[in-house]
Every structure is written in structure tokens, then in C-alpha cells.
Amino acid sequence: MPIPLPNLDDRSYADLVEEMRALIPRYAPDWTDHNESDPGIMLIELFAWLTETLIYRLNRIPEASEVRFLELLGATFSKKDNVSGSADGTVDLEKIRAQTVTALKRRWRAITADDFEELVLENSDLNIARAKCIPELDLEFSDLDTPRPGHVTVVVVPHSETDTLNAVKHVAEFLDERRLITCRHHVVGPGYTTVSIGTEVAGISQVRKEGLKERIKKNLKEFFHPLNGGPDVGGKGWPFGRDVYASEVFQVIEDTDGVEHVESLDLLTTDTGGGWVDAGDRIAVNLNNLVDFDPRKSDIKILDVL
């Protein structure tokens, strides 16, 4: 709620003259002629007029002063702008005032993790689709098990047509002037946890095997997609650091048109040597990782239905 502005223009010319006349007997008892023809009364009326004018001006902000205040707050006026009130090229101060106040309310300084994420996503010039801020970690030089107080890492996922290395560089420069002086920020691209699926699926008898296999691969690819996937309806991308569960993959396959039931399901991921290993019912995903699912590396078998 805004602070109400006081009305300073609350004294009229007549009030001021009457008040000064009432003070004459106290300070000048020998002054007995209070008619308008008296030179002293004439001076009282003159000073009352000047005082009323000053109070009137004090109660108002001239356009020129308002323009200067708005400029201090970040508003810009071109040299051709006319703020004198003429019809030709007159500046709409009311509109500029509203725009300036709106700009002041806009987030600029990065303090919290949400600030880092929102600032990156709100700037369309950076062309970033997703951002995740991880406090007290430096993923450029250390691992997830080494806390770094005073550091933050921002993991960014550019739009598919954007070069990740350039995007990381631009985001780092953008955040450098918005971070607190005591904060060290690091910007990296996402890591990826590789996932493949081994499954045997029984399809409805009228459905072609190859078509069913392609639909299953398509649904799984969409489910794990870094920008549009995820376990939630209307996904905004696979969540950073969210584990992969066999039950959810099972559900995606069974919800595919033409699937009768899932006979078996294996979750596979790569080990440190790059070989595929059975992950059981869950694949652990690091805090800064998304899921890399390649349908070509998955073994999807469509069984004959008797």
C-alpha cells in the first residue's frame, strides 16, 4: 500500500492575511491603522501572496523535476521529447512513470537459487530452455561430494539449435554483474546419465510389430526428453537429478497404443568402463544430470500373441 502524500497547500491568501493582522497588536501595539491603504497592510498582503505562491509550488512537483527523478530511476528520454505540455511530441509522464515502477519491481540481482534460474530464463537473448542452480558446489573443478561455501553452479540447457559452449560463456558473463560480490558462480552444461531399455512386449494381435516397436521407442524418447519430457503430465523436461524407476518405464510402455502387456523389463546403464550393466529397479541420476536415452541402443522385442 503506497504512503499517502500530504496536502501542503492548505493555507489560503485570506488565512495568511488574517493571521498576520492578528499578530500586529502583540508585536506593534502602536500600529492602529489596519486599513488597506496603510503601507504596512500593503506589505502584509504582498507577503501573504508570495507565501501562498510558495506553498502552492511546494505542494507540486514540476514536470522537469519529475523527469529528472525518473531518469535517476533508469527512465530514458530522447532529446526530441517535449515535457512542457505541448501537443507535439509530448511525453506521457504517467505511462513512463508506470513503466519505470514496473522495471524497478523486476528481478535484477541474483541472491537466491531461484534468482539465478529466473534471471537466466527471463533473458530471451541467452536462448536458454532450462536452468538449475545448485548452491555450495563448484562443478567446474570439484565433484558433488565436495561442498564449496560461497559458490553456486548454474546448469543450463540451451535450446536445441544453440551451441552449448557459447551459451555457457554468455550466461556466465550475464550473471557476473548480477551476483553478490561474495558469491562465486560457475556455469556448466548438463551431465547425462545413459539409459537403455531391454523389454519383451506382447502386442494386440491386429497390430504390426514394427509399427508397435517404433511407437514404444517414440514414447520412451519423449518420456526422457530433456526439454519436453518428464514423469509429470505436460512435462517441462526430465527433472535434474531425478532417478529412473522401472515402474514408470513399465507404465509408459503399457500405455502405448497396441500393447497388450509387458512380459519383462530391464533397466540398463553404463559403468565406469562404458559397458552396459543391469541397474535393477532404479537408475541413480546425479544432481546435475539429465537422462540420455537412445532408442537405437534399446532392445525392444514384440512377442507373438497366440
Domains, the chain, in order of start with CATH, read: 13-104 (no CATH), 113-188 (3.30.300), 192-303 (no CATH)
Residue with cell 491603504: 37
Q: What is the pLDDT of residue 5?
A: 73
Residue with cell 554483474: 177
Could you tell me the sign of the dihedral formed by the alpha carbons of 207, 208, 213, 218, in that order? Answer: negative
| Cα 148 to Cα 98: distance, rounded to the nearest angstrom | 42
Q: Which of 145, 163, 170 is nearest to 288 (CA)?
A: 145
- Residues 16, 19, 22: CA angle, nearest 5 degrees: 150
The pTM (predicted TM-score) of the whole model is 0.68
Q: What is the pLDDT of residue 80?
A: 55
Q: What is the pLDDT of residue 86?
A: 38
| Cα 277 to Cα 283: distance, rounded to the nearest angstrom | 11
3-state secondary structure of 261: strand
Q: What is the pLDDT of residue 22?
A: 92
Q: What is the pLDDT of residue 58?
A: 82
3-state secondary structure of 281: coil
Binned average pLDDT, 10 residues per bin, the chain of 306 residues? 76 93 92 90 94 88 81 75 50 81 86 95 92 92 82 92 86 95 94 94 89 94 93 85 95 94 93 88 93 91 79
Q: What is the pLDDT of residue 85?
A: 43
Q: What is the pLDDT of residue 283?
A: 95
N-to-C CA span, the chain = 73
**Which conformational region is residue 221 in: left (phi greater than 0), alpha (psi within -120 to 50 degrees), or beta?**
alpha
Lookup: cell for 83:
515535457
**What phi and psi, each to the nearest 5 degrees, are found at residue 35?**
-75, 160
| Cα 291 to Cα 159: distance, rounded to the nearest angstrom | 16
- Residues 121, 126, 128: CA angle, nearest 5 degrees: 50
Greatest CA separation for the chain: 128
Lookup: cell for 224:
526422457
| Cα 297 to Cα 42: distance, rounded to the nearest angstrom | 102
| Cα 120 to Cα 110: distance, rounded to the nearest angstrom | 10
